[in-house]
């Protein structure tokens, strides 16, 4: 189990690295995280919804993803409420107060343990990821994702600390000092992550940490920039390094929404050499793009209201009228219609709100969520794959051309013109036929062939090699041997 001194210390990536290492070493690993809080989700083959981090880790382990790998997913609706997904299906909206003061653990912890046991019947070892800090004392009594899992399943836990944040000695020592004795006994090793500079200068630091905690330092892992692994906060890193406009590239603006979901829809586009993709909530920057994409969102009506307030809604409408390419995905697709109707107040108190009026349709928000993996023919140009996660149904107010034909024969999405379309299909840009069509009207070089799955496999192997070089693997196997059947 990989636990942390805090959030964003690198637990997800390290868990993926060890999943790939264990696979390479002949084992049959699978990932597990009891509870994820994220708007970035995925749909499994049987229609269950789970967090993307465990999908990535499953890929690293070389296995198909299943909701048992992430039995509880919290999808925030507002700053104080979230939809709770259990075993792939929503069970209701909870306030933070209601969820974290006992009701959540009583309801969900038994289900979490059952999911772990089902997974352990099929795979060994299970590579578990914790969440945030393991020493949040105010949340500890109702924790279902960190040390209660380590204790309940006798997991060999490794504490991950981010030295790049600063204060690594205090964070490691303080985190372990705040655990009770039973929890401390599960901590088998420490990993110092994201080191920059000459690692030999930290030799004394390693000894100091071991003397302070009585726990061995398994390794010091250098920060990297040449390995691409999908992370839960990749969007923040993309924004930090983005360039708003580049000559010789097709500049694609993704409208940055407050409750934006499934930003991984754009990972493949970001790796196309013909494209400069950036995220923005600035009307002038968005207007300067060649293509505007309105992404998915967990709170479509709330985000549309904000786009009206900050002037982006009117800018998108003006750009569409001027003939610029405008595309909507899921919630963004709903926004492009004439009206959004929420008669059951699923999203909030607003029951009806005018849309952008770009597409001839209105959306009725429904109480039941639809989730499915889908194969579809895009514009009659070729078969593609994607997945749907939505709680809305379109009603068209004029004749339209369907964008996609589902393998079942049903139609999906709207193809209003060469410059305007919308779809519920997440992952639609992972398909080369879609990207090539998207860029066909621009003066760019012919696409260099890219096998995205092969690209990701190469990254997992590079990550595994990077971690192997930095970690004492003999010590790792020695430390896990008493608690894991290898």
Taking a C-beta distance cutoff of 8 angstroms, is the pair 108, 144 a contact? Answer: yes
Q: Which tokens in the block code for residue 12?
A: 């997800």
CA distances from 402 to 324, 357, 379, 425 (A): 20, 18, 8, 13
Whether 420 is catalytic: no
What is the spatial distance between Cα 361 and Cα 225, in angstroms, rounded to a whole number?
44
Taking a C-beta distance cutoff of 8 angstroms, is the pair 109, 74 a contact? Answer: no
Whether 330 is catalytic: yes
Q: Residues 61, 65, 66, 330: which is the catalytic one?
A: 330
Q: Residues 65, 384, 390, 426: which is the catalytic one?
A: 426
Q: What's CA 164's distance to the chain center, in Å?
A: 23
Q: How many CA atoms lie within 13 A of 113 on its CB side?
A: 14
In the three-class reduction of DSSP (H, G, I as helix; E, B as strand; rest coil), residue 426 is classed as strand
What is the spatial distance between Cα 461 and Cα 458, in angstroms, rounded to a whole number?
5
Q: Which tokens in the block code for residue 334?
A: 């709903």
How big is the chain, counted in residues? 486
Q: Which tokens in the block code for residue 27?
A: 């084992």
Which residue, 428, 341, 337, is CA-closest to 381?
428
Task: Give catalytic residue positions.
Answer: 330, 426
């Amino acid at each position: 189990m990989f636990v942390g001194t805090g959030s964003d210390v690198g637990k997800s990536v390290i868990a993926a690295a060890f999943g790939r290492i264990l696979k390479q070493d002949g084992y049959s690993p699978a990932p597990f995280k009891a509870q994820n809080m994220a708007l970035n989700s995925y749909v499994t083959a049987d229609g269950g919804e789970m967090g993307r981090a465990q999908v990535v880790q499953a890929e690293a382990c070389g296995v198909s993803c299943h909701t048992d790998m992430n039995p509880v997913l919290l999808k925030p609706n507002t700053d104080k409420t979230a939809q709770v997904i259990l075993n792939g299906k929503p069970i209701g909206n909870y306030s933070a107060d209601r969820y974290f003061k006992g009701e959540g653990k009583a309801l969900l912890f038994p289900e979490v343990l059952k999911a772990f046991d089902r997974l352990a019947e099929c795979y060994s070892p299970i590579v578990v990821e914790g969440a945030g800090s393991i020493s949040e004392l105010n949340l500890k009594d109702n924790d279902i994702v960190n040390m209660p899992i380590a204790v309940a399943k006798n997991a060999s836990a490794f504490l991950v600390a981010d030295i790049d944040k600063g204060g690594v000695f205090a964070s490691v020592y303080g985190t372990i000092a705040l655990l009770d004795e039973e929890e401390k006994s599960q901590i088998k090793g420490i990993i110092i992550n994201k080191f920059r500079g000459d690692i030999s200068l930290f030799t004394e630091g390693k000894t100091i940490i071991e003397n302070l905690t009585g726990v061995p330092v398994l390794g010091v892992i250098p920060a990297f920039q040449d390995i691409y692994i999908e992370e839960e906060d990749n969007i923040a890193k993309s924004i930090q390094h983005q360039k708003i406009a580049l000559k010789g590239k097709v500049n694609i603006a993704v409208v940055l929404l407050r409750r934006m979901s499934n930003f991984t829809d754009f990972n493949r586009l970001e790796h196309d050499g013909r494209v400069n993709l950036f995220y923005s909530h600035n009307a002038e920057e968005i207007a300067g793009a060649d293509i505007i994409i309105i992404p998915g969102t967990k709170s479509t009506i709330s985000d549309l209201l904000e786009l009206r307030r900050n002037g982006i809604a009117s800018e998108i409408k003006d750009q569409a009228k001027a003939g610029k390419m405008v595309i909507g995905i899921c919630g963004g697709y709903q926004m492009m219609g004439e009206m959004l109707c929420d008669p059951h107040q699923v999203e909030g108190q607003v029951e009806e709100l005018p849309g952008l009026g770009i597409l001839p349709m209105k959306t009725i928000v429904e109480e039941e969520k639809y989730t499915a993996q889908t194969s579809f023919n895009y514009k009659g140009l070729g078969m593609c794959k994607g997945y749907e996660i939505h709680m809305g149904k379109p009603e068209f107010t004029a004749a339209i051309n369907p964008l996609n034909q589902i393998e079942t024969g049903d139609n999906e999405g709207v193809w209003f013109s060469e410059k305007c379309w919308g779809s519920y299909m997440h992952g639609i840009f992972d398909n080369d036929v879609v990207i090539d069509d998207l860029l066909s009207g621009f003066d760019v070089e012919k696409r260099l062939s890219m096998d995205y799955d092969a690209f990701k496999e190469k990254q997992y192997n590079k990550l595994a090699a990077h971690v192997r070089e930095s970690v004492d693997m003999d010590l790792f196997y020695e430390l896990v041997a008493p608690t894991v059947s290898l």
